Amino acid sequence: MQTSKFPSVRALDQLLDDLGASAARRRQLDMVRGELDRALERGALPVGARRSLRRLLEEEALGPYVRLAESGALRHRRVEGGLPPTSEATNEIRRKCVDLLREALGLPALRLGGGEIPLQPAPEAATLSALARQLDQYLTGPMSPAQTRLTAVRALELDTAARSGELVELRTTDLGEDNAAVYVERRPQGGGTVEGEWVETSALTRAALERWLDVRNPRPWAAAEPHGCVEELFAARFDLPAGARVRPVQDASRSECRGDQRHRPRRTAHTGPGCRRCRGPRRGSGGRGVRARRARGGRDASPSARSTDRKLKPALHAAADVEHY
């Protein structure tokens, strides 16, 4: 955090360091600290609040500060291009932080307006039942990894009624045997004693957790014997055109991989340019085999081609030696 040019804010930084608040409360106090610094920068607070921390936390300075902050004018970044008023929850947190700072300095709490935040109404039983039916329907079909995780989280929420902060703290080690229960640490809003309890999970939650754990920690791969004939396997793996058939070499390769000795291709000795392996006519007929050997510079190549080949061989061997070296 950037050091402020106002002595009162620098003294507030020292007070915050000595306060020993939790990480969540420290973020809230840093928000108030930043707003006070921007209010002083705008000249919205009394001049004496710039030098003295006690003057900064007096009601004469905190009253204008709270009104200006609730209007959104002290935001450190814009929201959709503007500075809208802060929410009721943020306003209540700001008032509690102000009282906490005053008490740390030995001043009484101000209790600046607003009162407690009204609680959100609990969802009706019909809404929860509809959500459970929807999650059960999701589990019967294919889901993406993100949807699988969200389904497990929603199922846990239906069973435990945990707050968002309590759900975030859950780990796989908090799950009981066969996912039959989950350990939840209750964290009361506004502070208090953290208490843990085991909550029994429903059949829906156990199925959702098992589905998600398979995605999170997939089982090790194991080879399995394929089923079906060769044509069916290749048609399922490749997009073959209509009427296409599997070549014999593919059938032989598959049989060889399976250890079937009967379908291994027999190797025959080469009997000359007219044999079945060459798949070409006899030498001298000008067929495909002769043309291929001429292109490679073999014995059927022209005398000029063989002469050129003899001239190039020493240079090629020298280049190969240099590359090897």
According to the model, what pLDDT value does residue 210 have? Answer: 92
What separation in angstroms does the CA of 181 have from each of 175, 194, 246? 6, 19, 53
10-45 burial by CB neighbour count: b if 16+ within 10 A, else e?
ebbbeebeeeebeeebeebbebbbbbbbbbbeeebb
The H-or-E segment that residue 196 falls in is strand 195-200
pTM over 0.85: no
175 SS3 class: strand
183 beta partners: 198
Amino acid at 284: G
According to the model, what pLDDT value does residue 186 have? Answer: 87
Task: Compute the distance between CA of residue 202 and CA of residue 302 in angstroms, rounded to an integer.
Answer: 85
Domains of the chain: 7-104 (no CATH), 125-216 (1.10.443.10), 230-263 (no CATH), 288-324 (no CATH)
Q: Are 300 and 293 in contact (CB under 8 A)?
A: yes
CB atoms within 10 A of CB 214: 11
Contacts 24+ apart (CB under 8 A), 114-122: 114/88, 116/92, 117/88, 117/89, 117/92
According to the model, what pLDDT value does residue 322 have? Answer: 43
Task: Compute the distance between CA of residue 142 and CA of residue 260 in angstroms, rounded to an integer.
Answer: 38
Q: pLDDT tens per residue, the chain (325 residues)?
A: 688 899 999 999 999 998 888 888 899 999 999 999 999 999 999 999 999 999 999 989 998 999 999 999 999 888 888 889 998 888 888 988 999 999 998 988 887 765 555 667 788 889 999 999 999 999 999 999 999 999 999 999 999 988 888 888 899 999 999 999 999 998 776 566 778 899 999 999 999 999 999 888 776 767 777 677 767 777 777 777 777 766 665 666 666 666 655 544 455 554 555 555 444 444 444 555 555 555 555 554 455 555 555 555 555 455 444 444 3
